[in-house]
Chains A and B, each alone.
Chain A
Amino acid sequence: MYNSIILLYIQFLFEGFGGNLFWNIMSFLSKSVFSKSNPIYKHIEYKIVLFKNSITLKLLYHEWKGSIRKKETNHGFLINIIINFFTIIVTLPLVIIFLKLKYVIKSFKPDISIQSTVFLLLIYIFLIDFIIRLMVQKKISNAVKPYLTLNIPKRSIIYLFIVKTVTNTYNFIILFLLVPVILSNLYNTLNTTKIFILYIFLVICFIMNNYLVQYIKNISSTILFWITNITIVILIFFGILFISQINITKYVLIIFTNISNKPIFLLPFLLFLLLILKIYYRQVKQLLYIDSNANQSKLNLSTFETIRIINKKSYQLFMLFIIDLKLILRNKRPYEIVIFSILLPLIMLILLRFVGFSNTDKLALFLVSIFATGIIILAYGQFIFSWQSAHFPLNYVLHINTKEYIKSKMLLLFLLSTISYLFCIVILHSYDSLIISCAFLFNIGIQIPLTCLFGLFSYKKIDLNSSAFLNYQGTGKTQYLYFYGLLAVSSIIYYPIQKYFSEKIAILVFGLLGLISILFSVLWLRLLTKNLQKNKYKFLEGFSKI
């Protein structure tokens, strides 16, 4: 048992993270300490040779090569580094806030215990981390297909998965930036050893999250299961809301204090992590077949057949809409964008409700509602035509009615935005629903057609199965032009009205603009149809480029 844990430890840590450096240091030290005939020196040298010939290491090296030679993104190695660096830079403001947390707590609530607040915050981060991972963590893929026919033991391929799953920028930010920085606030209340023990505890917890989410993602091969997942996520958040009414600080304090005082309490968590790893190991072993995803359930279209007799055009619109829906449900990037764009405002609304912002601040409510009901339009709609880049020519071969094609896109955006609107109404029920509705009207009336219009100038091909997280493929100047343009025009409209009339009237004007735009949607449709036909060859050319 002891030996196998040590072996696992070596396989996981030394082969994965900076192993080469570790063994080089060991080699240097052994050379300086022992003579060449010493058995310890020989053993270390033997281990170094073993390590350098490790298949898992070779596979990791290939993964690295694969990532810098990625075809889809056209990103060089340097660009990848810059993007990752940029991600870390973006989190810096958060790091600074957490670094100064004790001062923030002192200035707002001087009577509250810093220690219990930090512990509570860590628990919330842990829970939110689980949800974020559900949304952004990559699902296991068959990128290892070529290795399966080669002389590579399955064990090595599984180790590759285990190491790959944990080594990403997200984990780096959580484990090496956020957690240490939050814990640094306890420097005056706890000694260094205790803080270090807590750090180890949190690392175990976050890695546990990492593999647990990976396990869930791998088994959730059916749409039904995904829906269950989303429901669980929502329930967890409502659970947090519920818990927030109860004083959980006391229990959190007991857990953290006991662990920091008696490191033996780490053992159950460590054992649980090993158990999860073992389960994950077995799962990956079962997935290492090329038809492991072959038996996924499919949407049964036969129930919709009756609609065919109602109206040919409506039927085509309906079918196009269903295809769009399937595109979202069956492809990674659009799926993640949609889920993220629904859940992000949901989380934000719950937090705002929890924290509480002024009922009289109309502009804040309007902006929150604009964001909540509009983010999905912006995030998904920016690539509204590019999502189908892989089979775009098919639309022309099949002679699909262009107007119905555009209608289906607008219908999809409308329904997605409506979901967010309903969330807004339910969560912010005690706030002015007229302002929320104005924001919604503005989004569906102005944002949807404008996003589609700007989508007509996005000719870049999109890889549907790459992750949406930190994925800039397809993004270009059009999106920025649209976003900042809309922001500028909205400000120009808003401020004079607000100055000469009132804040509420300015907001109502936005709602009215949306309503007028909806009434004239026929004109939008005509404009979009004309432009899509005009840009047809640009799309066909752009989407065929790799």
Chain B
Amino acid sequence: MISVNNVTKVYNGKKAVCINSLMISQGELVGLVGNNGAGKTTFFRLILDLVKADNGEILINDQNVAHTDSWKKCTSSYLEEDFLISYLTPLEYLSFIGSLHNISEDEIKDFISVNEKLFKDVYTNQKYIRDLSKGNQCKVGIAGSLFVNPKLCILDEPFANLDPSSQIQLKNLLLEINSNNGTTIFISSHDLRHVTDLCKRILIMENGTIIQDCLTNNETLMQLENYFIV
């Protein structure tokens, strides 16, 4: 699904991202953890062709993200509230995204009603996105990236501004989408418990490089805590 080959990105002489090789297969649920400044967000931005890599290539479904747009049809993402169209209402925003994927408003409503607890309040809110709380803005972004039935979904710290109930609901929803639709989900989070609960594979990033790539087991949480405690 995602193939990263010799990718580097340098800012002011410092390597923000330097990954020699990384493969994420279809249907995987992968977590990316690392301290602030480790390069997680830059890495996501490189995958989504939001910043240009200095070297190397990133392929999504064997398509170089820098050379074509066709990978966008099967990819969805939510990185931060800046990527929302602030002057639209949540309904307008989701309808717009739906129109890009030929998804009708009825289908959006179906998705919302199935995940009523998590998204209904946001969906029916008549305020503009810019006037919503950070948590609700985050929900709009996540809803927008999930209802389009993507093959690949990239979420940068999706749990960050959510209340505890929403965090649990989101976790369940991501697991469900991953197992039912075979969607590849790639998330980053500072919450080690959420990552270990959710992801079957965890990547640890430091100074722009992936220093550990492990499968999750019963001891992973403890190992991660021990790693970051130092």
Contact = CB atoms under 8 A, between A and B. Distances in A.
Interface of A: 55, 58, 62, 65-66, 69-71, 145-146, 148-155, 289-291, 294
Contact of A290 (B50, B73, B88): B50
7 contacts: A55-B100, A69-B87, A149-B78, A152-B69, A155-B69, A290-B50, A291-B51
Nearest to A67: B87
B157 to A, nearest CB: 15
Nearest to B66: A289
Interface residues of B, number: 31
Given A58-B99, A62-B85, A151 B130 contact: no
A149 B79 contact: yes
B193 interface: no
A55 to B, nearest CB: 7
Interface string B48-74: 111110000000000000000100110
A148 B50 contact: yes
B88 A151 contact: no
Given A58-B96, A62-B88, 6 more contacts: A70-B87, A71-B87, A149-B48, A152-B72, A152-B100, A289-B50
Contacts, number: 65
B109 interface: no
A360 to B, nearest CB: 58
Contact of B88 (A55, A65, A148): A65
B137 to A, nearest CB: 12
Contacts of B100: 55, 150-152
Interface in B64-122: 69, 72-73, 75-79, 82-88, 92, 96-97, 99-101
A150 B97 contact: yes
A66 B48 contact: no
A153 B67 CA distance: 11
A71 B88 CA distance: 12
Contacts of A145: 82-83
Contacts of B76: 149, 151
A149 B75 CA distance: 9
B227 interface: no
Contacts of A291: 11, 45, 50-52
A291 B86 CA distance: 20
Contacts of A151: 72-73, 75-76, 97, 100-101, 148
Contact of A149 (B11, B50, B52, B128): B50
A500 B102 CA distance: 82
A294 B101 CA distance: 32
Nearest to B72: A151
Contacts of B52: 289, 291
A289 B51 CA distance: 5
B83 A149 contact: yes
B87 A290 contact: no
Most buried by A among B50, B76, B84, B130: B50
Interface string B10-42: 010000000000000000000000000000000
Contacts of B101: 151
B45 A290 contact: yes
Nearest to B71: A151
A242 B62 CA distance: 61
Contacts of B84: 146
Contacts of B85: 62, 66, 146
Contacts of B48: 148-149
Contacts of B87: 65-66, 69-71
B51 A290 contact: yes
A151 B103 CA distance: 12
Contacts of A62: 85, 88, 96
Contacts of A65: 87-88, 92
B55 to A, nearest CB: 16
Nearest to B88: A65
A465 to B, nearest CB: 14
A443 to B, nearest CB: 42
A150 B88 CA distance: 15
B126 to A, nearest CB: 13
A154 B96 contact: no
A146 B100 CA distance: 13
A69 B128 contact: yes
Contact of B69 (A146, A154, A289): A154
A69 B87 CA distance: 6
Contacts of A55: 100
Nearest to A70: B87
B152 to A, nearest CB: 12
A148 B84 CA distance: 10
Interface string B151-165: 000000000000000
A491 to B, nearest CB: 47
Contacts of A149: 48, 50, 76-79, 83
